[in-house]
């Protein structure tokens, strides 16, 4: 079936219309005419894969990865990098409008990643018959691989010389340690932060530092005494902020992340961080008044946190997000109480549709 594609949707799909119904098409770009094969039909939409490109977009490039079609993880590889950034800005605005019912007047700036390949410091590999690989997206079809184009070079070196025995996470730290029990994060402070293997850390070092720079610039503009930081992990933001003297209440659920954080607090000799263990996906209580809330939830977002916020009067919020659908949902819940002052995007995940963002919000006056 032949289809002219007009738009682009969250998830990395180009979109077209058949008989009044929207079709989400994989491996295609807006403006292209393609042959498609329908793979799913629902009441309000259809899903399809591209079988032939009849009229390619001027922004199309040859995917660099030989596993592009069988792996499916890097679903924007067929677009020029600058165009990937433009598509991310567009889907950000449309998702915020559709799911968040929020209209932003200006197109948010996006910080590109200098490393468009080999930027990932952590990869979860599947293993079959001694071969490293991935499951094709949303299936359990195994694709064996020799290298991953977005993995750090050290990770590729590791899988080229080591046989796999089971599914395995391979991670490299800022000092080229691979899968050691203790890993180190270099944030440009007087010493590194420690973290235990398998604990969350941001996967793109350069972008992490840029987010931190922007976060600092925002925090410096505010008059603060107490900061509440939710989903704080090992202290990626907490430790640098606390070294500047801010009093921080740092909240996290993961025990290993908390033990790494406590070790970092001790190493830096900090007395101004209170560590609180909470599951923030369930109703929770945290005592005290705060001038600023920083939150950086996982992909699931922070629905319970924004509900809690409706009962509080925290003046400033900085919401860092890796999922624009849950961010839009959460901002929708507080949109009558808070005004979005700034939004900036970061290309933490080149070659994929994922977008990292930072939204700065202010409590409305009345």
Ligand X SMILES: C[S@@+](CC[C@H](N)C(=O)[O-])C[C@H]1O[C@@H](n2cnc3c(N)ncnc32)[C@H](O)[C@@H]1O
Catalytic residues: 322, 356
Q: Is 237 in the site for ligand X (CB under 6 A)?
A: yes
Q: Is 233 in the site for ligand X (CB under 6 A)?
A: yes
Q: Is 156 in the site for ligand X (CB under 6 A)?
A: no
Tell me which of 57, 156, 201, 357 binds ligand X, using CB under 6 A.
Answer: 201
Q: Which two tokens stand for residue 232?
A: 């704080």
Q: Is 24 in the site for ligand X (CB under 6 A)?
A: no
Nearer to ligand X by Cβ, of 236 and 351: the residue is 236
- Alpha carbon distance 33, 72 (integer Å): 21
Q: Is 75 in the site for ligand X (CB under 6 A)?
A: no
Span from 81-89, 148-156, 199-207, 264-272 in contact with ligand X (CB under 6 A):
199-207
Nearest residue to 105 (alpha-carbon basis) of 96, 113, 117, 114:
96
* Residue 239 CA: distances (Å) to CA of 18, 65, 186, 270, 273: 53, 38, 12, 8, 8
Residue 184 pairs in a beta bridge with: 194
- Alpha carbon distance 321, 300 (integer Å): 10
Q: Is 198 in the site for ligand X (CB under 6 A)?
A: no
Tell me which of 15, 254, 272, 274 binds ligand X, using CB under 6 A.
Answer: 254
Tell me which of 247, 253, 262, 342 binds ligand X, using CB under 6 A.
Answer: 253
Where does residue 71 rank: exposed (0-12), middle (13-18), buried (19+ CB within 10 A)? buried
Q: Please report how close the Cβ of residue 28 comes to ligand X at its closest, in angstroms.
A: 30
Where does residue 37 rank: exposed (0-12), middle (13-18), buried (19+ CB within 10 A)? exposed
Tell me which of 160, 167, 279, 339 binds ligand X, using CB under 6 A.
Answer: 279
Nearest residue to 201 (alpha-carbon basis) of 173, 220, 175:
173
Q: Please report how close the Cβ of residue 155 comes to ligand X at its closest, in angstroms.
A: 19
- Alpha carbon distance 159, 132 (integer Å): 7
One-character DSSP codes across 286-341: --S--SEEEE---TT--HHHHHHHTT---SEEEEEES-HHHHHHHHHHHTTTEEEE
Q: Is 147 in the site for ligand X (CB under 6 A)?
A: no
Q: Is 194 in the site for ligand X (CB under 6 A)?
A: no
Span from 85-93, 146-154, 174-182, 248-256 in contact with ligand X (CB under 6 A):
248-256
- How many residues touch ligand X (CB under 6 A)? 19
Tell me which of 32, 252, 323, 330 binds ligand X, using CB under 6 A.
Answer: 252
| Pairing, β 316-321 against β 292-295 | parallel
What 3-state class would DSSP assign to 220? helix
Residues of span 281-300 touching ligand X by CB under 6 A: 281, 296-298
Angle between helices 81-100 and 324-334 (to 10 degrees): 30
Nearer to ligand X by Cβ, of 33 and 256: the residue is 256
Nearer to ligand X by Cβ, of 87 and 232: the residue is 232
Tell me which of 27, 50, 113, 236 binds ligand X, using CB under 6 A.
Answer: 236
Q: Which two tokens stand for residue 14?
A: 């180009």
Span from 139-147, 165-173, 233-241, 324-332 in contact with ligand X (CB under 6 A):
233-241
Q: Is 185 in the site for ligand X (CB under 6 A)?
A: no
Nearer to ligand X by Cβ, of 28 and 320: the residue is 320
Nearer to ligand X by Cβ, of 18 and 275: the residue is 275
- Alpha carbon distance 84, 75 (integer Å): 10
Residues of span 304-343 touching ligand X by CB under 6 A: 322
Q: Is 173 in the site for ligand X (CB under 6 A)?
A: no
Q: Is 202 in the site for ligand X (CB under 6 A)?
A: yes
Name the residues that contact ligand X, by CB under 6 A: 200-202, 231-233, 236-237, 252-254, 257, 279-281, 296-298, 322
């Amino acid at each position: 079936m032949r289809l002219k594609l007009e738009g682009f949707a969250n998830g990395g799909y180009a979109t077209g219309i058949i008989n009044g119904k929207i079709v989400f098409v994989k491996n295609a770009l807006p403006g292209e005419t393609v042959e498609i094969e329908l793979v799913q039909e629902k009441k309000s939409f259809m899903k399809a894969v591209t079988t032939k490109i009849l009229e390619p977009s001027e922004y199309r490039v040859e995917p660099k990865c030989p596993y592009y079609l069988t792996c499916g993880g890097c679903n924007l590889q067929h677009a020029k990098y600058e165009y990937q950034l433009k598509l991310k800005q567009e889907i950000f605005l449309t998702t915020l409008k559709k799911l968040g019912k929020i209209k932003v007047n200006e197109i948010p700036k996006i910080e590109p990643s200098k490393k468009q390949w080999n930027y990932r410091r952590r990869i979860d590999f599947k293993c079959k018959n001694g071969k490293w690989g991935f499951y094709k997206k949303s299936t359990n079809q195994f694709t064996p691989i020799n290298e991953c184009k977005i993995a750090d070079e050290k990770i590729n070196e590791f899988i080229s010389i080591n046989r796999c025995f089971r599914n395995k996470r391979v991670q490299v730290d800022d000092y080229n340690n691979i899968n050691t029990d203790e890993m180190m994060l270099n944030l440009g402070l007087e010493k590194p932060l420690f973290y235990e293997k398998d604990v969350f850390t941001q996967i793109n070092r350069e972008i992490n530092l840029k987010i931190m720079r922007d976060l600092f610039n925002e925090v410096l503009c505010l008059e603060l005494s107490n900061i509440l930081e939710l989903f704080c992990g090992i202290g990626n933001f907490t430790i640098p902020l606390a070294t500047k003297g801010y009093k921080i209440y740092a909240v996290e659920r993961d025990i290993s992340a908390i033990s790494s954080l406590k070790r970092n607090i001790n190493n830096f000799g900090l007395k101004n961080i209170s560590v609180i263990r909470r599951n923030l996906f369930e109703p929770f209580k945290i005592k005290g008044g705060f001038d600023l809330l920083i939150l950086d939830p996982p992909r699931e977002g922070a629905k319970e946190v924004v509900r809690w916020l409706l009962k509080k009067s925290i003046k400033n919020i900085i919401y860092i997000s890796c999922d624009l659908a849950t961010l839009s949902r959460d901002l929708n819940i507080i949109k009558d109480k808070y005004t979005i002052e700034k939004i900036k995007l970061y290309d933490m995940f080149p070659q994929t549709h994922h977008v990292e963002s930072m939204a700065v919000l202010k409590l409305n006056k009345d």
